[in-house]
Structure 1
Amino acid sequence: MTDLAPQELRVLVAVERERSFTAAAAALGMTQSAVSHAVRAGERKLGAVLFERGRSGATPTAAGTRVVAQARQVLRLLELMRTEAREGEPERVAGPVRIAAFRSVAAQLLPTVLARLAERHPELSPQVRIVREIGRGTAGEVADGHADLGLATMDETTTRPGLVAVPLFAESYALAHPVGHPAPRTLPLVDWDENCGSYTRSWWHGQDWIPQATINVADDTVVLSLVAQGIGMAIMPRLALLGAPDGLAVTDLGPEPPSRLVGYVSTPALARTATVRAVIRELRAVPLPPGLTPKRQGG
């Protein structure tokens, strides 16, 4: 089988992104017939249909989705290959590095990491995307080729083939409730979509005092605002509770509270690049707030 050329990979990525051969041609500065030819050539080489053609445009098949994710990763490695070859000096780290992170870790830890990177590697250009940690989450961003490194919660989605997942710290949960309430566990539950993943489910199901949520929102900062206004209580990870609004108190959940592991996710090839290694070094060195326990194994 003849390998796909880089330009063929770029065409596949563009068609998947634009959902149209015509729009992909415009984005790449090519003719539509050239794009169609490149897609057909890629399908012939791989022995699979990658896109369903129709009046609504081009929709990737299951095989097409997998191939395009791998195409993005290959193109990113080619880009980094040129960057690293030009550096010439072992300590010089330059160019973009794409980071995906969920909101609380991005708000509480990334500023320190990025400040340290700016001081040590002024030619490095971090590009940060905030991703909701549900569904494929930040690990999915890496697997799909949209990010070089993801800050993720460690569960079954981060152990998929083709990814390197390394824990950085364990984050305990606590009870958030209005200041001064005499019995906060009797309050209605306010929850949000990203809460209670597989890492807390067994603990959660063993607590007969936790009611069904009366309010469920899309963002943990909204949960905190509602709780501070006296609307209910919430069970929250410690990072989300940092910088909590006035009117909100935090109480421990006992000697063995639920917790989740948080770490970084990359691919084996990207984890060896200078830009990603620089980010990993700072993630491992960043001081952790109370309620977080380091997990500093290698990876």
Structure 2
Amino acid sequence: MPAAATAFPAPTPTAATDLAPHELRILVAVDGERGFSAAARVLGLTQSAVSHSMRGMERKVGAVLFERGRKGATPTAAGAIAAAHARRVLRLLDTLAAEARGAERGTVTGPLRIAAFRSAALFLLPPVLERLTARHPGIEPEVHVVRELGVGTAGEVVQGRADVGIATVGATSPVPAGLIGDVLIEDPYSLVHPAGHPAPRSLPLVDWHENCGSHTRRWWAGQDWIPKATVLAEDDGAVLSMVSRGLGMAIMPALSLNEAPDGIEITDLGPGRPTRSVGYVTTPEQASSVSVRALIRELRAARP
């Protein structure tokens, strides 16, 4: 059974501002490792030091951040929010140091963390990052492929795990509260089927879990020729492979159809076809950093 929650007195107005960077790193480690012992090993500290620091943070914040139990440490609602803020604060401290050095040397250096869904990472980002690093050799892009399900790539930015997310945004997928962003491309959907098939709309539907934009689903609901998916694949690459083998047809966005395999035919769905809006999201504070501004300029320059 989890230990009973401890009630803390209300913190003073300045208590939370007394949190030190090393405390924030401990908070992030406990959240990431889901345990005090595991966090201690990662940080090179003793478990008692981690526990003592966590109790001090909880007193300063005025809330229980983790439920302690036999299976480790589970973040409370307050703890999840605190860990997300801690990651973002620590990233800002890294940015502070990198940009101060850059101002002195006249260069931009350091990592740039980007979360992107698979087709964006494969086809949208590479030419953008090629131009970015040619202009700013000191920037070190780190691209993490994230499934565009649930909180998706935008959630990685909210949680402080990425500086920029390449996400599905727009009227049907608004930018999450607390983030800023913009649409980069409109990605139209097409019918994808085995080449030369005489009646492709009669084939079974092959789909994948991420292909779930609300606008697309509403369009699908009005198409009586589209059956329920008989095959659900792990990603869009697997869908294309199955379609090329004659196992069915699919409805896919253009970004996923780059370098489509042989044996596939792409048919325009005509007027009213669905599209998805692909753009970037970031935090207001990271939007002012040199490396993020440089990336956004290159992303905008790459618009069709």
Whether TM-score is above 0.5 comes out as: yes
1:74 aligns to 2:89 (yes or no): yes
TM-score by length of 2: 0.92
The aligned runs of 1:182-201 (5 Å cut-off) are 182-201=198-217
Q: What is the match of residue 284 of structure 1? A: 300
SS at match of 1:150: strand
Shift of 1:91: 6.0
Shift of 1:160: 2.3
Q: Which runs of 4+ in 1 moved over 3 A?
A: 155-158
Contact 2:175 2:281 in 1 (8 A): no
Distance 1:185 1:91, change over 3 A: farther
Distance 1:38 1:179, change over 3 A: same
Contact 2:34 2:74 in 1 (8 A): yes
SS at match of 2:272: coil
Alignment length (residue pairs): 288
The aligned runs of 1:69-218 (5 Å cut-off) are 69-88=84-103, 92-154=107-169, 158-218=174-234
Contact 2:58 2:65 in 1 (8 A): yes
SS at match of 1:9: helix
**In the aligned structure 1, how far is the partner of 2:268 from the partner of 2:143?**
32
Contact 1:158 1:265 in 2 (8 A): no
The farther-off stretch of 231-240 and 105-114 is 105-114
- Within the candidate set 265, 273, 276, 2:281 is matched to 265
Q: What is the match of residue 239 of structure 1? A: 255
Amino acid across the alignment from 2:99? E
Which consecutive unaligned segments of at least 5 residues does structure 2 have? Answer: 1-11
**In the aligned structure 1, how far is the partner of 2:103 from the partner of 2:207?**
51
Distance 1:241 1:8, change over 3 A: same
Amino acid across the alignment from 1:66? I
Distance 1:89 1:257, change over 3 A: farther
Shift of 1:114: 1.2
**In the aligned structure 1, how far is the partner of 2:280 from the partner of 2:245?**
35
Amino acid across the alignment from 1:191? D
SS at match of 1:232: coil
**In the aligned structure 2, how far is the partner of 1:187 from the partner of 1:75?**
52
The farther-off stretch of 129-138 and 195-204 is 195-204
1:12 aligns to 2:27 (yes or no): yes
Distance 1:90 1:138, change over 3 A: farther
Amino acid across the alignment from 2:286? L
SS at match of 2:119: helix
Contact 1:196 1:204 in 2 (8 A): no
**Cα RMSD for the two superposed structures:** 1.4
Shift of 1:159: 2.5
1:57 aligns to 2:69 (yes or no): no
**In the aligned structure 2, how far is the partner of 1:68 from the partner of 1:184?**
50
SS at match of 2:157: helix
**In the aligned structure 2, how far is the partner of 1:29 from the partner of 1:207?**
59
Shift of 1:157: 6.0
**In the aligned structure 1, how far is the partner of 2:187 from the partner of 2:264?**
20
Which consecutive unaligned segments of at least 5 residues does structure 1 have? Answer: 289-299
Contact 2:154 2:176 in 1 (8 A): no
Identical counterparts, % of pairs: 61
Cα deviations by residue, 1:183-215 (Å, 9 ceiling, x for unpaired): 111111000010131131221111111000110
SS at match of 1:100: strand
TM-score by length of 1: 0.93
Shift of 1:123: 0.8
Contact 1:49 1:61 in 2 (8 A): yes
**In the aligned structure 2, how far is the partner of 1:243 from the partner of 1:287?**
19
Distance 1:277 1:89, change over 3 A: farther
Q: What is the match of residue 22 of structure 1? A: 37
Cα deviations by residue, 1:49-84 (Å, 9 ceiling, x for unpaired): 110111111111111111101100000001100111
SS at match of 2:218: helix
Contact 2:164 2:292 in 1 (8 A): yes
Amino acid across the alignment from 1:76? R
